[in-house]
Amino acid sequence: MRRPTPLNSRPGKNLKMEKNSFVKPRGFLEKLKNIFSSGPAREHIEDVEEALIEADIDLEIISGILEAIKRDKISDYEGVKKLLKDIFSDSLNQPSVAPQALKKVIILCGINGAGKTTTAAKLSGIYAKNGGKVIFAAADTFRAAAIEQLEAWAKASGTRIIKGIDGGDPAAVVFDAVKNAKNGGCDMLIIDTAGRLHTKSNLMLELGKIKKVVLKDYPEDEIDTLLVIDANTGKNAFSQAKEFNESIKLTGVILTKFDSSAKGGSIIRIAHELRLPIKYMTYGEDAGAISVFDPQEFVDKLFD
């Protein structure tokens, strides 16, 4: 078993891949508990609203929750907790979420600074752990030194990398990588694309082109197209997911920087409305700081 060595391990920060391996800096809705120690829920409707808003949960979902509390005359913390757990689990457990199967190709996309390159490295760790042979495609030819960044990770973990030149055509890099992956007996191709704002239509078209290149050699169901979203993002996360989904048809989402005290509540609307599964979450700078996302565990953790 080969584990990628973290490039710059910080003392005391070596998180392992096992579940429950990290603790949120602050309990997600711990606030709620305190609220209810002093009276029935209906009297605290505003406090409940505050706690939910501060978790970046969508306003419409919140208004539904508040109405349910009033309608069902829920009066204690346990009741509210159960209601929230039910609603969140329902949203996150989409029927479209098939059990995780390892796909042959992963395309990572997202806005600038979401954490795509680091996530690429982390994902390669998971697949390498399962004995798979991974190839990276360094398809971010735009940002200065993006290729070097992925290269550094590749070197540390002994992963093969296909790259082009700065400013080159990313689709051409992907074309080479696909050919290499097909011929070189590789089990997994991870494509790191340039960060792009979902509002730039020309860049979204470029992304479509990249997928088309992959589709020439791999059937759709062997490709995971994953959007990388920063847990610190607010309402815009939904807008990102919606636009990327329309452009490139996502198969899931990866939530990054979850070791922040941000609650990441924005994924609830994404899962609920776009029926997209959240596949992984990451929580640190070391190569091992990634977990398969488990909706139940996530929801349980909200109330720890």
Partner 1 sequence: MFENVSGKLYDVMRKIRGTGVISEKNIDDALKDIRMSLLEADVSYKVVKSFIESVKQRSIGEDVLKSVSPGQQFTKMVQDELASFLGDKNSGLDTGRRPMLYMLIGLQGSGKTTTAAKLANYLIKEKNTPRVMLVGADTYRPAAKQQLEKLAAAVGAEFYTEEHDDPVKIAVNAYKSLETKAIDAVIFDTAGRLHVDAELLEELKKMKAAIPFTEILLVADAMLGQESVNVAKNFNDAVAITGIILTKMDGDARGGAALSMKHTAGVPIKFMGTGEKTDRLEPFYPERIASRILGMGDVVSLVEKVQQSVTAQDAKKAEEKFRKANFNLEDFLEQLRQMRKLGPMEEILKMMPGGAGLSNLNIDEKEMSHIEAIILSMTRRERNHPEIINASRRARIAGGSGVKPERISRLLKQFAQAKKMMKSMGKRRHNIPNFGGDFPGGMGF
Kindly list the residues in this chain that would bind partner 1 in the complex (CB under 8 A).
Answer: 7-8, 10, 12, 25, 50, 53-56, 59-60, 111-115, 118, 142-146, 148-149, 151-153, 166, 197-202, 230, 232-237, 239, 257, 259-263, 266, 285
Least separation, in Å, of the C-beta of 149 and partner 1? Answer: 4
The residue (of 103 and 198) whose beta carbon lies closer to partner 1 is 198
Q: Which residue's CB is nearer to partner 1, number 120 or number 178?
A: 120
Q: How far is the CB of 36 from partner 1 (least distance, A)?
A: 18
What tokens does 42 get? 């209906």
CB of 111 to partner 1, least distance (A): 7
Nearest to 282 by CA among 227, 226, 230, 235: 230
In the bound state with partner 1, the residue whose beta carbon lies nearer, of 60 and 220, is 60
How far is Cα 84 from Cα 30, in angstroms, rounded to an integer? 13
d(CA 239, CA 229): 11
Q: Which amino acid would we find at residue 4? A: P
The three-state secondary structure class of 119 is: helix
Nearer to partner 1, 130 or 199 (CB): 199
User: Which residue number, 88 or 153, has a Cβ lying nearer to partner 1?
Assistant: 153
Q: How far apart are CA 241 and CA 197, in angstroms?
A: 11
**Minimum distance from CB of 35 to partner 1 (Å)?**
14
In the complex, the smallest distance separating the C-beta of residue 202 from partner 1, rounded to whole angstroms, is 8
Provide the minimum distance between the beta carbon of 143 and partner 1 in the complex, in angstroms, as a whole number: 7
Find all residues with CB under 8 Å of 210, minimum gap 6, and list them. 107, 139, 170, 171, 174, 191, 193
d(CA 273, CA 269): 6
Q: What angle do CA 40, 45, 51 make, to 5 degrees?
A: 110
Q: With CA atoms as reference, report the closest residue to 241 among 268, 265, 270.
A: 270
Amino acid identity at 134:
V
The smaller minimum CB distance to partner 1, of residues 167 and 219, is found at: 167
160-163 sheet: strands from edge to edge: 160-163, 134-139, 188-193, 105-109, 223-230, 252-256, 278-282, 290-292
Residue whose CB is less far from partner 1, 214 or 302? 302
Quote the least distance from Cβ 148 to partner 1, whole Å: 4
